[in-house]
Chains A and B, each alone.
Chain A
Amino acid sequence: MPMLEVVDFGKRFTIHHLNKTMHAVEHIDFSLGRGKFIGIVGKSGSGKSTILKSIYRTYLPDTGQIFFNSERFGSIDLCNASEREILYLRKYEIGYVSQFLNVMPRTTSRQLVEKALLEMGTTEKVARMEAEQALNHFEIDQKLWDTYPNTFSGGEKLRLNIAMATVKKPRLLLLDEPTASLDQQSKIKVREIIEKLKADGTTLVGIFHDIEFMEGLCDKVFDMKTRQLIWEAGISNES
């Protein structure tokens, strides 16, 4: 069974005061096996983030199905899952990372990572240890551990975001342009992080601006323009 299967998915937005409805995406189909990485490419506004946010249910999906192979619920259609089921999945099985840090104010980086663990039922002692490991692993300077992240640089915020999402060891991780606005050095670091996550068996869906950056990492690449896979490992190796 695939870890994620998107079937004829579509999403419209209706803006009432403009009396306008628009199709952000239509007829999206792809599937992804456990531990695989699919990259989504397409120009700005083509609907890449809309797909990711619909999987995470920050956007309310309106047509099609998104089947997720959940440890807790088995195969579950994320379009129809209850809000409480989605909250459970976000807590234990599905992570979302973007370039933006959206966290509780007045909470230090260390507390944020610990909280991600505590809400899964990890004991305080273990949470403390694993949080420090993660902060180290993603190379967040020790002097930042006990400060509020609102003043962090773009790269630091991103690495904290990734640390918070990955300490949970999610089955599925959604990455929305995590490298946007990063310098080359930091981008390479993100690439290394993704390599490690893949090696750990995490299934990944990623949006990246520059396709070269994903070379050798993706198992599949989905193109928004043609709504087709333009590349798949082991099937065609040209280009």
Chain B
Amino acid sequence: MYEEPILRVRNLEKQFGDGCKHCMQGAIRNLEKNYCPACGTVYACQDISFDLFPGEILGIVGESGSGKSTMMQCLYFDADVTSGEVYINGEPDLKDQNIFELSRQQKRYIRNHQYGMVYQNPVHGLKMNFSSVGNIAEKLIEAGNRNVSEMEATSKVLLESVHIPLFRMKEEPRNFSGGMQQRVQIAKALSNNPPILFLDEVTTGLDLSVQASVLDLIKRLQRELGISMIVVSHDLAVIRMLADRTIVMLNGSIIEEGLTDQILEDPQHAYTQQLVYSLL
């Protein structure tokens, strides 16, 4: 390997429920999709391992319920993992430290300084009754900022960079269209200059022209700021446009990974083939 990953994810597991004899014996879980019919436990993420490299966009594609959002929530510490490890490269103190084992406070530090998150649903990423500037200031305060006029200036620059008109910056995002809300979320996620950005279905549900402007924005962030991103989408067209490498998830597991053009032109797994052929 000629370069170091910025993020290493190893054997991440997330289950909802305690499991039973039926699903906990040995390596084979006897599930229906991701679900144990005997006890009702959902195995939302199963043995997820991958690397994220500096400056790359890694695509995650999979059908509804395949565990994409759950995985993102685990990475961002929104949800506790059942087991697994994540290593982050960049903070010398954290070298070879499984960050899932850190204290609450240390996790908050990573969230505030290393990570940005854009949620599938803007309601989770924005306070709808704060102004857009206020939303960004909130994140800046979390990251340790205290200077009000400086924060306001930073917020303006960020909102401008995602094309929110100046005269609407004091407005509450609940008045905004879906595309504008996603752009405010992106501005907020970028405000602490994170080297790693998580984007969960950011364009889903937006109409095509708005979708295009958000995709262009993401591409620009990669090109100009060199941010490493994990982009989740169930839409292969979005993945094709953004991602250098792609991971395919099914029922909580990674079933295939490869260069994005290879996944699209020479898919190996039966499920990926079905996914790709339905696109053509």
Please report the C-alpha to C-alpha distance between residue A186 and residue B219 in the assembled complex, in whole angstroms.
Answer: 34
B270, A84: Cβ atoms closer than 8 Å: no
Chain B residues near A105 (CB-CB < 8 A): 212, 241
Contact status A87-B259, CB under 8 Å? yes
Tell whether B53 is near chain A: CB-to-CB under 8 Å: yes
Tell me the chain A residues, 59-107 only, with Cβ under 8 Å from chain B. Answer: 59-60, 72-73, 82-88, 104-106
Does any Cβ of A come within 8 Å of B244's Cβ?
yes
| Interface residue from A53, A60, A73 paired with B2 (Cβ < 8 Å) | A73
- Does residue B262 face the partner (Cβ distance < 8 Å to A)? yes
Candidate in B223, B261, B273 with the most chain A CB atoms within 10 angstroms = B261
B265 pairs with A59, CB closer than 8 A:
yes
B19 beta carbon closer than 8 Å to chain A: no
Number of interface residues of A (CB under 8 A): 25
**A residues near B105, Cβ cutoff 8 Å:** none
Q: A17-B270, A84-B53, A106-B212 are in contact. Are A58 and B265 (CB under 8 A)?
A: yes
A72 CA to B258 CA, complexed, in Å: 22
- Is B212 a contact of A86 with CB atoms below 8 Å? no
Q: Which residues of A have CB within 8 Å of B258?
A: 60, 83
Q: Does A15 sit at the interface, judged by CB under 8 A?
A: yes
Collect the chain A residues with CB atoms within 8 Å of residue B261's CB: 58
Q: Per-residue 0/1 for B191-233: is the Cβ within 8 Å of any A Cβ (1 yes, 0 no)?
A: 0000000000000000000001000100100010000000000
Query: Does B3 belong to the interface (CB within 8 Å)?
Result: yes
Inter-chain contact B212/A58, CB cutoff 8 Å: no
The answer to the question of A16 belonging to the interface, with a C-beta cut-off of 8 Å to chain B, is yes
- Cα-based distance from A16 to B216 in the complex (angstroms): 35
- Return B101 CB to nearest CB of chain A, in Å: 28
Interface string of A154-185 (1 = CB under 8 A from B): 00000000000000000000000000000000
- Interchain CA distance A199-B257 in the complex, whole Å: 39
Q: Are B266 and A60 in contact (CB under 8 A)?
A: yes
List residues of chain B with CB within 8 A of the CB of A104.
219, 241
Tell me if B1 counts as interface (CB < 8 A to partner A): yes
B268 lies within 8 A of chain A by Cβ: yes
Q: Is the CB of B266 within 8 A of A58?
A: yes
Contact A57-B1, Cβ < 8 Å, known A84-B53, A105-B212: no
Q: How far is the CB of B193 from chain A (nearest CB, A)?
A: 21
29 pairs from A and B in contact (CB 8 Å cutoff): A14-B268, A15-B273, A16-B273, A17-B270, A57-B259, A57-B262, A58-B259, A58-B265, A59-B262, A59-B266, A60-B258, A60-B262, A60-B266, A72-B2, A83-B257, A84-B1, A84-B53, A84-B56, A84-B245, A86-B259, A87-B56, A87-B244, A87-B245, A87-B259, A88-B2, A106-B216, A115-B223, A118-B223, A119-B223
9 new A-B contacts at CB < 8 Å, known A87-B56, A87-B245: A17-B273, A17-B274, A17-B277, A58-B262, A59-B265, A87-B259, A88-B2, A104-B219, A115-B223
Seen from chain B, the residues whose Cβ lies within 8 Å of a Cβ on chain A are: 1-3, 53, 56, 212, 216, 219, 223, 241, 244-245, 257-259, 261-262, 265-266, 268-270, 273-274, 277
